[in-house]
Structure formats: structure tokens, C-alpha cells
Amino acid sequence: MYSCYSCGKTYSLLEPRWRCDCGGFLTLPENAPFHRETFANRGYSIWRYRESYFLPPQAPSVSLGEGWTPIVSERIDGMEVRFKLDYLMPSGSFKDRGASVLVSLCKALGIEELVEDSSGNAGAAMAAYCAIAGIKCRIFAPAYTPDGKLIQTRLYGAEVVKVPGTRQDTNDAVLRAAAATYYGSHLWNPYFVQGHMSAAFELWEQLRGEVPHSLILPLGSGGYLEGIFRGFRTLHLAGLVRTIPRLIGVQAHHCRPLHEAFLLGLDEGAPVEVKPTLAEGIAVSRPPRAAAVLEAVRRSGGTILSVSEDSIRAAHGLLLRYGFFAEPTSAVALAGWLQLPPSERENSVILLTGHGLKESEKIAKMHGL
């Protein structure tokens, strides 16, 4: 059963629905099933934990083997820190976790065509999973989006619809299209969030039950953070962990609606002036699920930081020196970690979210090559 975060109205999971009639976003129950004995003999992908996603029983696993990304330990600034390399995914970003689960739901509902608006990792991930599921995928993007950003999406076979005008015009166009098809939105759909729970389950298994003090990740729309929180809540409710990590979301200073909201104690994203940032992947000025994301950060005892463009560039350079070829957006997490007082840096895991090969030309320019 879906329920609306704003008004509490409930809907059947078999309805092809992406938000409440009141305009609020939908959530799934918090008490997801999680039984060690059911997954012990399964392979190492996010589908090891399939019962936890609340998919209809007839849902297939639309999978490219995503998940179980490595955790690598390094010493930076005299302190040990672990990185989870979530950029090592089939389409090159953590978004494969969400896309795999959402497209599996679409398959179960008999959806033959969907629309989505993303010119970045989410669009590429949705295009990849729709391709293998045989679902027609149309990705809407503002006309000003450079063609290079949409190549991967196009090559997977998705139709790209460029919309003249602002980001809001693209948003309006995709909603009009959604009225006749299905809106497979990485920003709105709770099943996209549900897929991200797998990162928490993997951390728990890979670290053999140890719970890190902090998890630090780039924060844009916040679906990744919300999903990881839900994953650790599931483990907690199952009696498998006593505490959950502090979740520390990091935004770019140039686009920080959630950072401002956190500082001001708001339950919604704050209106902010947005400037261009190297961390394009998290430049989301009005995240629709902001209320759930802020709640997750607060309940975990975590915080939201913002970092400057210079510190993103420097942190990205540091990642390269350690051999991590991540996209610039991923570097905000390390920049955030470096901003913490040393006592709060201990026992942290930093999540690296997108592959640098997607943006090698931008990275070359960024470092003066």
C-alpha cells in the first residue's frame, strides 16, 4: 500500500501512480521484510534482498547484475576512511539500484511505455533498464542540455525529447506526456528510493554487521539518502543493528536548498538562488521528496553540509591521486568529510556515486588539462 506523505491517503500498489491526488509524494511502509535465511544462497546483486522492496510477487527482476560494489579503505589526512565505489555499476552510477527496482515494478504492472526527465545518470539508468525490459522510454530534457550528456541515453535506445525554455518547461512537458503514459520519475517514485535500500544492506553484509559512525554522500534530490535510511531502519527493526549511521548529505554551495532548510529547521526545501556548479548531478533546486529526506537526516542524527566549488575541485583531484575516477559530483562527499572536525571523521564511509568516464572532457578542463 502506498501512502501520501502529506495527507495520509492510501493507494493500491497495483495502481500505476506516482503521486497522491493532493500533489504530495508517496511512501511505502517502513517495516520491510528482511530475513537473512531467504537471501543466504542467492547471488551478489541488489536482488539478493528482493523481499524488502515491496514489489508485487509477480514482478520479474529486471537486472544487469547491479550492486555489491567494492569498499576500499584509504588513509587521507592521517585518518582512515572507507569508500564505497557505487560508480562501478552497469550504467556507471548508483542510480542503477533505483532504476532496476522501478523498471521491475513497471514490468509487473504491464507498463509498455514511460517518460522521465533527467539529462544525467538517472536518465541513462532508466534507459538501460527499459532497454532490457522491452519498455519504450522517452527522456525529456531542456533544449539547452549539451548533446554529449544525452549520448548514453540515446545509445540505449531511449527517445530524447528536447524541450525549449526553462527546466520548469521541461517539467511541465513531461507531466503532460505522463498523463497518457507512466511517469517513471527518479525524483518522485518511491520504488526508485526503495532500490537504494540495497546500499545499506550491502554495507551491513560487507562490513560484517559493523555500523559505521557516519555515511557521507552527495545530496541532490535526496532519494539515495532516503533509501539508505530506510535500509538501515529495516535492519534496525529486524533486530540486526542497534544503531544506524549518521547520514551526512553534502550539497554544492551553489545549489543548497536542503542545507538551508536543515539549518533553518524547515520541513521543506528552502528557496535558494542557484548558480552553476561542477557538481551538476546534485543541482536540484526543488527536490520533491525534501520532507522525507530532511526527516531521514534528522532521525539518523546526521547533518547537511555545503561545499565550495574550489573544495569540490580539490577533493576531486585528491580522489584521482588515490585512483578513483569518479565524476565531479561524487567529490562533494569527500569535500564534506574534509570539512568535518577530525573527531567526527572517524569511522566514516564515503559513497562515490558516478563514473568519471561519463565526464572525462569536463574533468580534463577542471584540472587544466
Q: Which residues bind Zn ion (CB under 5 A)?
A: 4, 6-7, 9, 20, 22, 24
Distance CA 8, CA 242 (A): 29
User: Shortest approach of Zn ion to residue 3 CB, angstroms?
Assistant: 8
Q: Which is nearer to Zn ion, 1 or 155 (by Cβ)?
A: 1
Q: Which is nearer to Zn ion, 5 or 94 (by Cβ)?
A: 5
Q: Which is nearer to Zn ion, 119 or 185 (by Cβ)?
A: 185
User: Shortest approach of Zn ion to residue 310 CB, angstroms?
Assistant: 42
H helix intervals, the chain:
36-39, 95-108, 121-133, 151-155, 167-178, 190-206, 223-237, 257-264, 290-299, 309-321, 331-339, 342-345, 360-366
Distance CA 170, CA 275 (A): 19
With beta carbons less than 8 A apart as the criterion, state whether 157 and 131 touch.
yes
Q: If you ran DSSP here, which 8-state letter would residue 271 be given?
A: P
For residue 71, give the C-alpha cell: 569498499
User: Shortest approach of Zn ion to residue 288 CB, angstroms?
Assistant: 13
> Shortest CA distance to 224 belongs to which of 364, 100, 97?
97
Q: How buried is residue 88: exposed, middle or buried, by Cβ count under 10 Å (0-12/13-18/19+)? A: middle
User: Shortest approach of Zn ion to residue 103 CB, angstroms?
Assistant: 25
Q: Which is nearer to Zn ion, 13 or 139 (by Cβ)?
A: 13
Q: Which is nearer to Zn ion, 20 or 217 (by Cβ)?
A: 20
User: Shortest approach of Zn ion to residue 25 CB, angstroms?
Assistant: 9
